[in-house]
Structure 1
Amino acid sequence: MPVRKGTATVLTCALSAALVLTGCTAGRSPAPAPPSARDVHDGRDGGAGPAAASRAPRQERRTPERIPGIGPTTHTRIPDATTQALVVSGESADGNVVTAVLHERDRAGRWHRAAGPWSGHNALRGWTDAHEAGDLRSPIGVFRIGDAGGRLPDPGARIPYDQDEEFAVSGTGFLGEPLEGSFDYVVAIDYNRVAGTTPLNKERPLGPEKGGGVWIHVDHGGPTQACVSLRRENMTELLRALDPAREPVVVMGPAGELAL
């Protein structure tokens, strides 16, 4: 929920890369010896001798590479159809400084960095996996990001963008920094909101006590109430990069927990 002019309340925010080995020898190799009886499958033990094994094609199963810094447990929460993930990693559970990197998955199932790293902030008191309204912590998790908006005109976003004067904000932040312009560009994080609607939508499916209005927005130079903030130029880059066909998500939380 955006901050209204004349109040000191800030929006509560609730706010997821081959080695080729070659070898050679000098001189002529001796002619191979004929196979012995031990090299031939005798049909009794169900196995195959070395000769048969050498003829069989070698099959290796490669699993898709995980996003750097993201552990197996967190990775299972990224939808199979998602090929674009913004990873927002905090310094610690109680820290409010973040690094964000946009990753994309290729057709071979391998993840690559597409943009970033970008610096920014999260909530004043850090992170939580049980976010409540007013706790001054950002929610930990994997959330869809598919709706955007802002006070300024669409900078070229591919996801739906709602330009509206309602994104205006005033007042000061926790460090006394001005908040004006913080909502010039925003991306809604699908925490306790209705997906597919403007970020201004105030419906809270989990109830108001679980907070809401969790956004990625323009950084104002200090911690947020629950949102994630990035520098203005990074916000425009993000808006132009997010592709709804890739079903983008944000993977957010302290680095130690995301590595699980």
Structure 2
Amino acid sequence: MYASRPSAVRRPPYAVHTGTCAAALLLLTACGNTSDTAATKSAAVRATASASAGVAGPPAERARRRAAPGPYAPVVRPREIPALGPKTRAAIPADAKQVFVITGDAYDSSLSTAVLYARDNPALGWLPVTTRWPAHNGLNGWTDEHLEGDLRSPVGVYGLTHAGGLFDPPETAFPYDRNPMFSVSGEGFDGEPLEGSFDYVVAIDYNRTPGVTPLDGARPLGQERGGGIWIHVDHGGPTQGCVSLPLDRMRELLSTLDPAKKPVVVMGDAEALER
């Protein structure tokens, strides 16, 4: 006899259904969590990358970046007159737009040079309007306190307000006194003739009344402080205290000086002017 086989054990249908649904539910839940985590991580990576790369954020941030200044631009300052120190520059009147700078070679030297500067555009500052001219000054050089007969030229900043001479001036707006009293004769310190020295002169407002003829003899500081300090035609040697220029340069100076620009002269040895 054949032994009978035991019948197969079957699980109720609901057991299989329940396990399948649970597995499916678990799978769906896991997929949902994975998707949310990946999206969050992706957004964080993008934000970090944007911040690291300097990418503009909100509109306000983008506007701020557009308004940021461009490349550095150096500040251009108005030009100053070279070789003048702070004390000398401070003595130049604020309304002066022409400055005639006479620079002595040394304290005891009678040799100097001269340049005319103008300040027509405040943004540009002082610019030379002439070349450097040769000049003579007092026989004994320069002094901070000029005295009658010391044969030195006074150091300082002085107005230029009137001119004159033996001859008619070149075309000029500067006040000019043509007068035969500008005649001169005799010899200079080196034996050179003085004739013609006062053909053209510009008075330096040292110990004199500004705005009057160079022939005026008033001495507001007293006679002992000297006076009659002029810019005049060079006679080829040292002066008694004046400054002298070649004839053509005197004519050029007279034709360039403009009373509307309130011209002044800055004069002295190089070391004094650097103060």
TM-score tier (shorter): 0.7 to 0.9
After TM superposition, give the deviation of residue 69 of structure 1 in Å.
Answer: 1.5
1:65 aligns with 2:86: no
2:101 is the alignment partner of 1:87: yes
**Root-mean-square deviation over aligned CA pairs:** 2.4
Q: Which has more radius of gyration?
A: 2
Greater helix fraction, Structure 1 or Structure 2: 2
Go from structure 1 to structure 2 and tell me whether the alpha carbon gap of 1:54 and 1:155 turns closer, same or farther (over 3 Å shift).
same
SS at match of 1:75: helix
Runs of 4+ in 1 over 4 A off after TM superposition: 50-53, 55-63
- CA offset digits 1:223-247 (Å, max 9, x no partner): 0000000000000000000011111
Distance in 1, matches of 2:273 and 2:145, equals 15
2:54 corresponds in structure 1 to: 33
Judge conservation of contact 2:165–2:177 (CA < 8 Å) in 1: yes
Q: Secondary structure at the match of 2:131?
A: strand
Deviation of residue 116 (structure 1)?
2.3
- Local SS of the residue matching 1:76: helix
Distance between the aligned counterparts of 2:241 and 2:141, measured in 1?
A: 9
Counterpart position of 1:127: 142
User: Which residue of structure 2 aligns with residue 185 of structure 1?
Assistant: 200
* Kept in 1: contact 2:161–2:212 (CA 8 A): no
Match of 1:245 among 260, 264, 275: 260
Question: In 2, Cα distance between the equivalents of 1:103 and 1:250?
Answer: 10
Code of the residue aligned with 2:105 in structure 1: it is E
- Are residues 1:116 and 2:131 paired? yes
Give the AA of the match of 2:82: P
TM-score, normalization by structure 1: 0.78
Cα distance in 1 for partners of 2:89, 2:73 equals 25
2:189 aligned residue: 174
**2:184 matched to 1:163?**
no
CA distance in 2 between partners of 1:105 and 1:241 (Å)? 13
CA distance 1:75–1:53, change in 2 (3 Å): farther
Tell me by how many angstroms 1:106 deviates: 2.8
% identical aligned pairs: 52
Q: Can you give the 5+ residue segments of structure 1 that lack an aligned partner in the other structure?
A: 1-30, 41-49
Partner of residue 247, structure 2: 232
Give the length in aligned residue pairs: 218
Further displaced range: 111-120 or 193-202: 111-120
Offset of residue 119 of structure 1: 0.5
Which residue of 111, 126, 130 maps to 1:97? 111
Cα deviation code 1:74-95 (max 9, x no counterpart) = 1111111111111100000000
Q: CA deviation at 1:65?
A: 1.9
SS in structure 1 opposite 2:130?
strand
1:196-235 correspondence runs (5 A) = 196-235=211-250
Larger relative contact order, structure 1 or 2 (CA cutoff 8 Å, min sep 6): 1
Alpha-carbon separation, structure 1, partners of 2:114 and 2:125: 19
For 1:142 and 1:77, locate their aligned partners in 2 and report how far apart those are by CA, in whole Å.
7
